[in-house]
Amino acid sequence: MSTVVDQLRAAGCVFAEAEAELLLAAAGTPAELAAMVRRRVEGRPLEQILGWAGFAGLRVAVRPGVFVPRRRTEQLVREAAALAPAAPVVVLDLCCGTGALGLALVSALPAGQRVELHAADIDPVAVDCARHNLAPAGGHVYQGDLYEPLPPGLRGRVDILLANAPYVPTGAIATLPPEARDHEHRAALDGGPDGLDVLRRVLAGAATWLRPGGHVLVETSREQAPVALDAAAGHGLRPRLVTADELDATVVIATRPGAPGEGITARPGRLPRASGPYRSDRTDQEDA
């Protein structure tokens, strides 16, 4: 244990003791442990070495190269759980990566509630990973660019649209830690010149897919939030901002207007506090 901790600490791992415990538990032999420690020291994300990430109290499978869900994104799921209708709910998770957001939302809803879950990502490796994670929840996962691969029958039916779209400006990619820059798909990080290119496209198409009173929830940085709010309003949505200091999280929630009585009835979310390995949020835009 002490040897592994010393190696991890020398490599700059902030939570060396916790990581050492996880690696020791996962390794079947001393040789396997040595190989896992070597990969971590070289900068590979811990979650990709273990094959899973802790997110919202769940253990989510992670494949090499796939974006690792960050702890701050749990706030987005909490807000979604509070907005979900008590009736059967239709959920869409765009830029889904591992599928962690959709899976966590399903787990946060009352037992027995009917959920129709859809997810999409442009990265084929992420799509394969999400299909594995969402199969127990009956999720449908599509490969393609944002709304392009979705079935036409989903149009105008979505209650909750989640999107953890990339929001790191292109010029800041080079400043990210190697574990993100070198080991996660570029499309999951690069948000264009100001970091908001993909998010703008999500908001531009949201009203077409939401039902009246449905909500789209996107994560962004505090500095980018005013632009995101303006973009949502510019596409006919009613936006508001939620921040959570505990997780250093910023969420834009935008609602498709509907006739009186058509809005979704809000209720308290019951997302559990999470445990397990968490990716450091150093890779997000405001820290870059």
Q: Are residues 26 and 117 in the same domain?
A: no
Residue 45 lies in a domain: yes
3-state secondary structure at position 14: coil
- Answer whether residue 129 is part of any domain: yes
Burial class (CB in 10 A: 0-12, 13-18, 19+), 78: buried
Mark whether 50 and 85 lie in a shared domain: no
Structural domain includes residue 288: no
Q: Are residues 39 and 121 in the same domain?
A: no
Residue 65 has what pLDDT? 85
Exposed/middle/buried for 191, CB within 10 Å: 0-12, 13-18, 19+?
Answer: buried
Q: What is the pLDDT along the chain (288 residues), one digit of tens a residue?
A: 889 999 999 988 889 999 999 999 999 899 999 999 999 998 888 999 999 999 999 999 999 889 889 999 999 999 999 999 988 999 999 999 999 999 999 999 998 899 999 999 999 999 999 999 999 999 999 999 999 999 999 999 999 999 999 877 787 777 777 676 766 777 777 678 888 899 999 999 999 999 999 999 999 999 999 999 999 999 999 999 999 999 999 999 999 998 434 444 444 334 433 334 433 333 343 333
- pLDDT value of residue 18: 94
Indicate if 110 and 237 belong to the same structural domain: yes
Our CA angle for 3, 65, 227, nearest 5°, is 110
Q: What is the residue range of 55's domain?
A: 2-61
Q: Count the residues in the chain.
A: 288
User: What would the two tokens of residue 169 be?
Assistant: 């400006």
In a domain, 66, yes or no: no
Neighbouring residues of 30: CB distance < 8 A, sequence distance ≥ 6: none
Q: 115: number of CA atoms within 13 Å, CB side?
A: 29
Shared-domain flag, residues 37 and 77: no
Return the pLDDT at 183.
66
Q: CATH number of the domain that 154 lies in?
A: 3.40.50.150
Specify the number of domains making up the chain.
2
151 and 184 both lie in a single domain: yes
| Residue that terminates a domain, selected from 17, 36, 61 | 61
Verify that 55 and 112 share a domain, yes or no: no
Phi, psi of 279, deg, nearest 5: -70, 135
Which pLDDT score is estimated for 168? 75
